[in-house]
Structure formats: C-alpha cells, structure tokens
Amino acid sequence: MTRRELLAAVVASGWLAACGGGDDSNDAPPPQLEREVDGRAVVKLASGRAGLVALDEQLVSLAERGPRRTLVITPADGSALRRIDAPAGWSLVDFTLHPAGDITVVLTQDGLVRLWRLDALGTLKRNQPFMDPQVSSDAYYDAGGAIDPDGLQPVLTGDAARVFALGDSVLLVLRTGLNAVVAYRLHDTVNGYVQAWRTVVEPGGGVAGRFLTSGSHDVFDQLVNHAQFRADLAADGTLGIGVVNANNTVFAGHTWHFGEAISATYGLIFTRIGADGQRLGSSIVPTDQLSELHGLRAVPGGFMVVGRVRTTRPPDGSGWNAFVARVGTDGSVGEVQVVDVDRGDIFFDIAALPQGGYVAVGSTGWTQNPSGASISEEASLLVARLAADGRLQQRLAVPSGPRNNQLRAVINHQGQWLLGGQRNGPGTHSGDANATLIRADGFVARAPVF
C-alpha cells in the first residue's frame, strides 16, 4: 500500500471518536491547575483563552514507536478535564493556542503530517492532511545518511514538527524526509488551511542514525535530537528556528546552499523568518563542544536557546553541562553561558522574568558514560534563576522524587508560575530486565517564588 493509499484508509476510518469528552457545565468550580499524572511525563504547557493546555507523554522503550503524547485541556471555565489522544499508529506531536480560543494540533506518522483544528473544549472542527509535493525537489547536500525523499518527517523520528498560531493562521515548521527544515504559513479558510508561503530554512542533507550498544530507554532523546529542531514565535510575528549542527553536516550544507561561511564546528544555526515568509538572517550560536538544543523561547528583544553541552569527559561521567544563549531581534548572538550545578546538567525550557533575567528548568545531578550514551537513573529537578546575560544567579529548591527527575516546561498562567515535568523516571538501563520500569510520574505544580 502506498503512503497516499494508507492516508486515505486512515481518513476513511473516521477520527471523531478520538476527541472530546467531559462535562460542559457552566457552574463548575475554578479549574484545578496543579495535578499529578500517573505513569506519564508532562512535556509542554501553554496558557491561553482555552485555559491551561498541556502535553503529557508515555515513556517508551527503544523497541517501541513514539512519541506517545496526549493533549490535556484544563478549561478556563472550570469544567471537566479533556484528554485527547492520537489515533492508533499516529503521534500527537505539538499544539498551539489561537487568540480566539481554538487549538491547532500537528500529528505525524511514517512521513505523513496531519493538522487538527479543535475548539477551546477539544471538539474536533477540522481534520486535514498536510501535503507538500515540493519536498522531494528541495536542495540536498549529500553527506550520506537516511532519507525518505517524498516524506514530511525524517526517517529517524516522528517528532520533528512544530506548529504556531499567528492569529487564525498557522505557522508550521517541519524537518522533511530529505532532512530539510521548511517553514510554512497556512491561512485558515472555509475550505481548510491554505498555504500562503513556503520557506526553506535549511537544505536537505544526510542525517545518520545513533544507537545504543545496550540499554532500553533514550533518557534525553539524545539518539534523535540531531534529527529534530526547536522553534518559537515572537510577538511581532518573527519565527525563530534553531537547528543543531548534526554530524557536522548542517553547517556545511548551509554554506553550500546559502553561501554563508561558518567558522564554528559545534553549535547551532538560528534563523529568523518574517511573518511574510522572508528570511531575515541566520546566526551561529557556537558551543565549542558537542551540544544538543532542547529549548527555544521568544523573549522580549529576541530569543533564548537552551540545552546541554559536553564540556569534558571525566571518568565519573559528569562532563555534560547546561547552556544558555540569547539571540537578539537583529540576529546578534550573546555569549554562550555554560551552567554547571551538580555533575550532569540540562535545560529544557526558559522564560523571561518580569523583573529582568530568566528562569530556566531542567535536570541536574545525573551522570553519563564518558565513552557512551548511558545516563544514570539518578537525576534531580533543576530550577535556575539566571541574570540578563544568562549567568547562573541561584538554584531554587524544588522537591525531587525517586529515580530520574526532569522539569520540561515553565510558564506564567494568569499570573501564576507553573512547572511541568516528571518524577520517578527511568535511566538508560532501568527497563533492561523489566520494561514496566520505563515509566514516570508527571506533574504540574506551582513554581517557587522567583
């Protein structure tokens, strides 16, 4: 069966049953924002007219397909929680909140991409496949690796799609089967989403696979991070997109396609795209050593990028540290700040504080095989207050649970700072003998005073 025939079969099966549910009472009490999520990790939080919306995720072994995420809506009117799952065989990857209350969701499956439009309570309004026949003809910098020329997602991951609301329009960013990074603007019409523009952010190129010689769980998505990207939308409509220099080919492909010389070896390319689809420029964020990009957030005056960087390889496995850097609205890049709190450190998200500076969240106190990718089961929650230049000012106390602890999201929801993450998660080898140990206890909790 071809990909298109498979898509037609899935559509014919009907998806309305995958959405909705809950009580529509107007007399419900105020929404309960803090909650525990048994067996799943909370990986994203967003606040809007729809209320507090989250993604939680079932952790999977290396032998299983992922990501397995659920959209969770805590309605602003205090009515019952809504949980919305993807159909069988599909991954619910990302969502965005529109100003008027609608939610757009992006789903992926074996090179396919689909968009859902939901109302603020999660009722499905539109179910539309996304097609782009141009992907197979994008510029390709041949450096070997796995490709799917007609696909809309990389061979190595189904988690390389991000969506953003610009009014009623949608900005969609994909890493395609050629491993090109492409941005689109889609207008919302009575006939569905209609493409307004298409902009190549990075050309296609070979992306090699990464594997573990032993182990059962990819703790920080380190095996697929190089096939992903991070992005966010600024208030003025500028889209910021960060692509890490995977396998030392992204920088080379960028120079080959755009003619912009790059002297750095490690780090990421940060590209700004205007609301009209025009490239506003690309900047290099150099990290000097092997690094991973795990978070990107629009902030006043620019964007912040966060992740982890391998600074050394000591025998105790403590050589990875968190990093943070600022990219201005003009593309200027501030000094990359390395944050070393306790052995291994990683930042997943960052937000600007109203009094100045930032709060960044992640995980700390873990170790990694200095000659491999095995990460310890032990890891603690990390909340860090940073100065305006990204330097560490203070680690704030947040109670951790057993095993692997991570904070994946920090947001301000109607004046309250909230954290999302997991406690009691697995390390690389936790599930080797018992797959039921590949699980975590997710949570949404109030943040300490910043």
Residue 375 DSSP symbol: B
Q: Is residue 155 within 8 Å of 177, Cβ to Cβ? A: yes
Three-state DSSP state, 152: coil
Rounded to 5 degrees, what angle do the CA atoms 27, 30, 32 make? 130
Gap between the Cα atoms of 238 and 254, Å rounded: 21
In which element (H, E) is residue 10 found? helix 3-13
pLDDT of residue 29: 63
- Walk along the chain (450 residues) in steps of 10 and give the mean pLDDT of each run: 39 34 48 92 96 97 94 91 96 97 97 97 96 97 89 95 97 97 97 97 91 93 95 98 90 97 96 98 97 98 98 96 98 98 98 97 97 96 97 96 98 95 98 97 93
pLDDT of residue 331: 97
Gap between the Cα atoms of 77 and 75, Å rounded: 5
Q: Which of 341, 347, 361 is nearest to 418 (CA)?
A: 361
pLDDT of residue 246: 78
- For residue 395, the cross-strand partners are 384
Q: How many other C-beta atoms lie within 10 A of the C-beta of residue 276?
A: 10
Q: How many other C-beta atoms lie within 10 A of the C-beta of residue 72?
A: 23
Is the backbone of residue 237 left (phi > 0), alpha (psi -120 to 50) or beta? left
Give CA separation, 130 vs 290, 298, 426, 442, in Å: 34, 26, 35, 31
Long-range Cβ contact pairs of 81-89 (< 8 A, separation 24 or more)? 81/22, 82/20, 82/21, 82/22, 82/121, 82/122, 83/21, 84/18, 84/19, 84/20, 84/118, 84/122, 85/18, 86/18, 87/10, 87/13, 87/15, 87/18, 89/10
Q: Is residue 380 within 8 Å of 400, Cβ to Cβ? A: yes
Gap between the Cα atoms of 131 and 109, Å rounded: 13
Q: Which residue has the tokens 């912040």?
A: 304
- For residue 164, the cross-strand partners are 171
pLDDT of residue 18: 34
Alpha helices in 118-246 (DSSP H): none
Alpha helices in 184-342 (DSSP H): 250-258
Torsion of CA 368, 373, 377, 383, to 10 degrees: 60
Gap between the Cα atoms of 224 and 301, Å rounded: 31
